[in-house]
A and B are shown apart, each in its own frame.
Chain A
């Protein structure tokens, strides 16, 4: 809570903003596409971390992601709703589902909640396969390319959503919500006796998380032009959502962002060298992080690396 503003930090932030804004002019289509997938993953990672702040580990973010994706695609195919509005609608439907699911399941704790979320995503996948008339079934749904295939516009759109996500995390971190979330995570009974309604704040966190995850899902379906249940409701997405923030550092703004960059770079490298290599990497990263750096990259930097550079006088 004691965060002092420094000029060094300010300049770095300014440079970063100028860099990401000017990025599309500097690179070719491949790197632009890569940046879009990075930003998408950052949104998923950050919004998973929002829920994690209340101590709940969701392993079913793909459910919310898929709902966002399908809402956007279905609305486009049925009523030709503009893609961006479709994404907003996808986010809204995700929030609604999260509110319902959260109200039912967030009384559960720890592993029990996690299991429910896996079941939730898997169940959606099965429902989708059983109702091909409405959802496209195993064949999936397709939409025309977003902005007529203009990747620059897509880049700025997803950057905007990412900025919103980071702003939301920052807001949570600097208001009384931070106290409620942290207290619930650290000891739910005591938090309750201290006047905090645990279910309410957990459902709220889940809804905020669902909003951005659903938004990202909507973006994905239009950007990718094609979605199938196995993929958007798949465990792969749910796991990706949690590996990146855990690697980067939980309950921080920079953790999920930094974690995504590092994990994605490893993933991208392995994708071209070893088939399914990135999935092995996910498992390996999880094990190593849990064993050796429980506070992630951010914690490692704060506790081990940055003290090395501090002037000796302090």
Chain B
């Protein structure tokens, strides 16, 4: 596994020559059971600074559970999660957030009675350590809204906005905490092809800013296009990891997706 990871480092275009070997996120033996069901079972992986890593797998593979474990929504039964060297296991979500973990939700959950700007400002006010003044946060939130393409809609309420814009709110909200690591949970599902293209552009721009991104994605074209590395999950276990091309031809992965060659399909069978 270490070898795979080292390989990925060399592939990543952002890697400089003098690299600190410690990765930004280290996950060891992550395990979570719900009753008798092993939702996540002994998963190990690491994410380096500036990398874009995708987490894929059939429905029910445990992808969102991993996100919930990382962000503290669930507490792992076993295992270790380290962000920037700091142990996160047992910490509550707001503490993890302030340590630099920003996330979006698969089902968009903007605060309905707050405007777009207020939604973004809220996480900026509380999710950041050290705290910033209200004026500064508001300015930055306005800037973020513009940046994700919600500039003119900053004063509107989320319920009046289409799905794509609600996803933008999710992203802006996660970015407002100035995360070290950004977790994107299916931000591109449910978007039209044009909207997906815009979303991909957004993720690429984030990478140019040096953001480290861990994303769950179903749209394979997206996964292949933007990931440095792909982690494949099946029945709560990691079955494959590596560069997109390599993973796509991994027999275990193909088997997990019912024999479908992933490269040729937009959506896996799920």
Binding site for B on A (CB under 8 A): 1, 175-176, 179-180, 182-183, 186-187, 189-198
Contact present for B126 and A179 (CB under 8 Å): yes
Contacting pair A182 B177 (CB below 8 A):
no
A193 contacts B114, C-beta separation under 8 Å: no
Query: SS class of chain A's interface: helix, strand, loop or mixed?
Result: helix
B residues near A195, Cβ cutoff 8 Å: 94, 97-98, 123, 126-128, 177
B-side interface residues, number (CB < 8 Å): 26
User: Is A193 in contact with B113, judged by CB distance below 8 angstroms?
Assistant: no
CB distance from A29 to the nearest CB of B (A): 44
> Does B212 lie at the interface of the complex (its beta carbon under 8 Å from any beta carbon of A)?
no
The complex places the Cα of A194 from the Cα of B92 at a distance, in Å, of 11
Within 8 A of A (CB), among B85-134: 92-94, 97-98, 103, 105, 109, 111-114, 118, 121-123, 125-128, 134
B112, A179: Cβ atoms closer than 8 Å? no
Q: What residues on B are CB-neighbors of A198 within 8 Å?
A: 94
Do A190 and B105 form a contact, CB below 8 Å, given A179-B118, A195-B97? yes
User: B31 at interface (Cβ–Cβ under 8 A)?
Assistant: no
Closest residue of chain B to A180 (Cβ to Cβ) is B126
* CB interface residues, B 187-214, toward A, < 8 Å: none
Q: How far is the CB of B43 from chain A (nearest CB, A)?
A: 21
Other 10 A-B pairs with CB < 8 A, given A186-B111, A196-B127: A175-B134, A183-B122, A187-B109, A187-B111, A190-B105, A193-B71, A193-B73, A193-B97, A194-B127, A196-B122
Distance in angstroms from A201 CB to nearest chain B CB is: 9
- Tell which of A175, A179, A197 touches B122, judged by Cβ atoms closer than 8 Å: A179
B173 at interface, CB cutoff 8 A: yes
| Distance from B223 Cβ to chain A, minimum over Cβ atoms (Å) | 24
Contact A189 to B73, CB < 8 A, known contacts A176-B134, A195-B128: yes
Q: Which of A1, A175, A180, A192 contacts B93 (CB 8 A)?
A: A192
Considering residues A176, A179, A197, which has the most beta carbons from chain B within 10 angstroms of its beta carbon?
A: A179
Report the minimal beta-carbon distance from A204 to chain B, rounded to whole angstroms.
13
Contact (Cβ within 8 A) A176 B114: no
**Cβ of B94 and Cβ of A182 under 8 Å apart?**
no
In the complex, which residues of chain B have a beta carbon less than 8 angstroms from the beta carbon of A196? Answer: 94, 122, 126-127
In the complex, which residues of chain B have a beta carbon less than 8 angstroms from the beta carbon of A1? Answer: 118
- Asked whether, in the complex, the Cβ of B92 is within 8 Å of the Cβ of A190, the reply is no
B123 / chain A contacts, CB cutoff of 8 Å: 194-195
A190 to B71, CA, bound (A): 11
Known: A176-B125, A179-B125, A183-B122. A194 touches B177 (CB 8 A): yes
Q: Roughly how many angstroms separate A192 CA and B126 CA in the complex, as a whole number?
A: 10
Contact A186 to B93, CB < 8 A, known contacts A176-B125, A176-B126, A179-B125: no
Contacts of A176 in B (CB 8 A): 125-126, 134
Q: Contacts of B126 on A, CB cut-off 8 Å? A: 176, 179-180, 183, 194-196
A190 to B126 Cα, complex, angstroms: 12
Query: A263 to chain B: closest CB distance in Å?
Result: 25
Q: Are B111 and A193 in contact (CB under 8 A)?
A: no
Q: Could you say which of B71, B93, B105, B177 has the most chain A C-beta atoms within 10 Å of its C-beta?
A: B93
Residues of B within 8 A of A186 (CB): 111-114
Contacts of B98 in A (CB 8 A): 195
Least Cβ–Cβ distance between B83 and chain A, in angstroms: 14
User: Shortest beta-carbon distance, A111 to chain B, in Å?
Assistant: 21
